[in-house]
Amino acid sequence: MSDNSILTRLKSKIEELYSLKRVNAHLEDVSNTLAEKYKELEQITSQLKKEEKDVKSLENKGFRPLFYKILGDKEKQLETERQEYLAVSLKYNALREEIDIIEYEKDLLQKKSISFPKVKKEVEDLKRHRQEELLNSGNPKREEVALVLKKYDHSVILGKEIAEAITASSNAYKNLDGLTGILRQALDWGRWRGRNSSGYAEMMKRSKLSEASRALAVTQRSLDYFAKEMSDLGETNMRLTLNFNELNKFTDYFLDNLITDWIIQQKIKNTLNSVLVVKDKVDRIKQSLDKEFQNNKQNLAELLKERDRILLSQ
């Protein structure tokens, strides 16, 4: 087997092994996150049952006059209870959506991780074969070649890290774009009440809140994953300074404002602006990643040229 053939196969296997190592690490993180989400779901489920019970109690027609005096107007109190129930219900649905996404993600990761031992052995065998050929070549500069190849292996892994970060940034940007579209539609929510009956407005309200809830869960997961990919690269490699707390937690602001003030148009605009800021940040990071990827690709080519120059030199 020629040196170039071994190097080509080894490059492919190193990339595959790196991905599988990341799969195993991500699988552990996902499992821990899933356990936390189920605990949170248990708490919200209890809260949801309580709010539902409160609504049904007020809907009971057997209230005594004294009870009305304590609570005030029944319809007003009932509307308040329904809004509280809607708020908790939205959080519950968003959490269920997120758990479903994480469960699906965990299942995929478990299937991928099965091949890790096999690929690890293939990489070790190819590296040993490459080392043996280099030692048996008789070239007096084989140590220089070995150093260049070590740098090459490191650059292969770096290229894989950058490529995965680019994929994660593209996915996050796509989800942010979808969330932006939903919020732009939300700017019309305040006009629906005057367009048709209150029943129609209520139906549209619930429909859009449900849609936003699903988009929120997907977007949050993609942002979390993108942040993790970036932290694995490190600021030294990327020469970027990014507040990941802002990136990871911006949806808490979105959800709170959506529930509390979704009728108020200005609040929706503020929420939309906050999403657009994160969207712009993701786009700028992706552009930097694209440049880093091309630089690393050029570095790989230069290392191969350096190897050939050493082998051919007298």
pLDDT of residue 302: 92
Mean pLDDT, rounded, for 23-40: 90
One-character DSSP codes across 4-58:
HHHHHHHHHHHHHHHHHHHHHHHHHHHHHHHHHHHHHHHHHHHHHHHHHHHHHHH
Mean pLDDT, rounded, for 287-294: 93
Global pTM value: 0.62
pLDDT in tens, 78-134: 677 777 777 788 788 888 888 888 899 899 999 989 999 999 898 888 877 777 776
**CA angle, 11 as apex, 9 and 16 as ends, to 5°?**
95
User: From residue 38, how far is each of 104, 121, 259 by CA, in Å?
Assistant: 15, 37, 22
pLDDT of residue 66: 46
Cβ atoms within 10 Å of 141's Cβ, excluding its own: 15
pLDDT in tens, 195-238: 454 555 556 666 666 677 677 778 878 888 888 888 878 754 43
In the predicted structure, residue 170 carries a pLDDT above the cut 70: yes
Q: Which of 132-141, 172-181, 220-229 has the lowest mean pLDDT?
A: 132-141
In the predicted structure, residue 262 carries a pLDDT above the cut 50: no
Share of residues in the chain with pLDDT > 90 (%): 17
Share of residues in the chain with pLDDT > 70 (%): 69
pLDDT of residue 139: 64
Do residues 307 and 148 make contact, with C-beta atoms less than 8 angstroms apart?
A: yes
Question: Higher confidence at residue 163 or residue 81?
Answer: 163
pLDDT of residue 258: 54
